[in-house]
Structure 1
Amino acid sequence: MQTPKQLAYAPTPYSYTPSNNLRATINEDEEVRLAENAAERDLYESLAEIYSIIVTLDALEKAYLRDSIKEIEYTETCDRLLRQYRSTLTDESVEAAFGDLESFKREWDLEVPRATERLKIGLPATIESTPTHLPPSRASSHRTNLPSTSQPHQPSSSGPVAQHIVAASENFITLFDAVKMSMLSKDTLHPILVEVIQSVNKVTDRDFENKGKIVQWLITLNQMRAAEELSGEQARELSFDLGLAYEGFKKTLD
């Protein structure tokens, strides 16, 4: 009597015995191409770059919260990642394939709450809410009244503080003018608004009145596509909120 051939695996009621007639349909010596042409390859590389930025940013935020990284290193790295993220999405084909952050996260099963919040705001935490500290004695010695019209007043005193005050005032006025001239696209307004927030943070460590309004506008712009524009109603609201924030900023200098 012939001994039954021993199977190489433990069979189950739902298992099957592979047939020797089956043949691989893929040539194992042939390179598998994910893209049919250079444009597709560039697109996939850009999406992979965005994925990497998001994951890295989430890790960076965790390190910052744990005090595992110096503030200056966090700020520089976070700012660079945010710029790379925005720059990558300026390409129309990449932006179309990306969709939006939430859909991209769902597609690739990303759980990155800290990166999500940072990308939503668009500024490092150190710039968003913790302005550069200046010695009170120096800040008070360079008080000046900033105008609400076209050109900022040049302080009589020189020095870093006075320069930051002038720069902040100029950035506010630049943003006012952009809105007034109906330059309402995200790619126009967003960088100017970032400059506004960064420049006022170099002047005062006080969370001045209505600063939250311009931070909220930054979040609104961040959620728009690069070529999208604010509506006429939104432009009026932005101009109004800018005026309130500018007055609040000037009060911190009194």
Structure 2
Amino acid sequence: MANFNLDEEVRLFTSNADRERYDELATLYGIIISLDYLEKAYVRDSIPQSQYTPACSRLLAQFKTIMKLVGDSVPNLDAFMTEYRMDCTAAAHRIEVGVPATVEHSSEEGVEAAKWVAETTQNFITFMDALKLKLRAKDQLHPLLTDLMSGYTRFKASSEWEGRPKILHWLITLNQMRASEEITEEQSRQMLFDVEHAYSEFFRSLSSSK
């Protein structure tokens, strides 16, 4: 019979790769739980639409990012939730729909504008997360920044926003690079700073226009 030392720490991993995998799975778990709480808070009117929509868009974007990282470890959301006995039907529905409830249930008149806001928010967050995850190559960043710029410029007021020329500058910079070339650490930090500033300005402008 094996002897167990009850004072010995149980390690889930034996290598850095295993540790990263468990960290990613823990992040996925946390995102699902947070999204479930957010959905229930919205249904109960415990959170206003102005706070719910960007928070939900951020979590959905983070979910998409982490699912790319976990890869084959998580074949699908249902399998993950079953394995870890997660009763998060509200989160599962929101992930399946892919947009915040404010977009899903918008009036016909406002649904397109609400959809643009949600998509642009997700594009911002996806790109910022990519930089934080240390993606540096042109072929990794250029498609994400192109999606961001396409959604961003749908808003007529964007021509007056300070963030627009900065995003355009980085898009041009990436355009001039070869697919395998990478930006420097200094460029990445400045790019993240500029995009975060543009993201904040984006929401301030939307709020002031209401």
Compute the TM-score of the two structures, normalised by the length of structure 2: 0.50
Residue aligning to 1:76: 54
Does the residue aligned with 1:80 lie in a helix, a strand or coil? helix
Which of 24, 27, 44 is the equivalent residue of 1:66? 44
Residue aligning to 1:115: 91
Does the residue aligned with 1:99 lie in a helix, a strand or coil? coil
Give the superposition deviation at 1:128: 3.0
Q: Given the alignment of the two structures, is residue 25 of structure 1 paired with residue 3 of structure 2, yes or no?
A: yes
Give the superposition deviation at 1:30: 2.8
Residue aligning to 1:126: 102
Which of 79, 83, 88 is the equivalent residue of 1:103? 79
Which of 12, 27, 34 is the equivalent residue of 1:56? 34
Q: 1: distance between equivalents of 2:21 and 2:43?
A: 33
Larger Rg: 1
Does the residue aligned with 1:119 lie in a helix, a strand or coil? helix
**Is 123-132 or 26-35 further displaced after alignment?**
123-132
Percent of counterpart pairs with the same letter? 38
Residue aligning to 1:43: 21
Q: CA RMSD in A?
A: 3.5
Q: Over residues 115-142 of structure 1, what are the superposed CA-to-partner deviations in whole Å (9 max), with x where a residue is unaligned? A: 11110111111133326988xxxxxxxx
Runs of 5+ unmatched residues, structure 2: 121-142, 156-210
Matches within 5 A, 1:177-216: none
Q: 2: distance between equivalents of 1:132 and 1:38?
A: 50
Letter in 1 for 2:25: L
Give the superposition deviation at 1:66: 0.9
Letter in 2 for 1:99: P
Residue aligning to 1:178: none
Compute the TM-score of the two structures, normalised by the length of structure 1: 0.42
Q: 1: distance between equivalents of 2:85 and 2:23?
A: 18
Runs of 5+ unmatched residues, structure 1: 1-21, 135-163, 172-187, 201-254
Structure with the largest fraction of helix? 2
Q: Over residues 129-163 of structure 1, what are the superposed CA-to-partner deviations in whole Å (9 max), with x where a residue is unaligned? A: 326988xxxxxxxxxxxxxxxxxxxxxxxxxxxxx
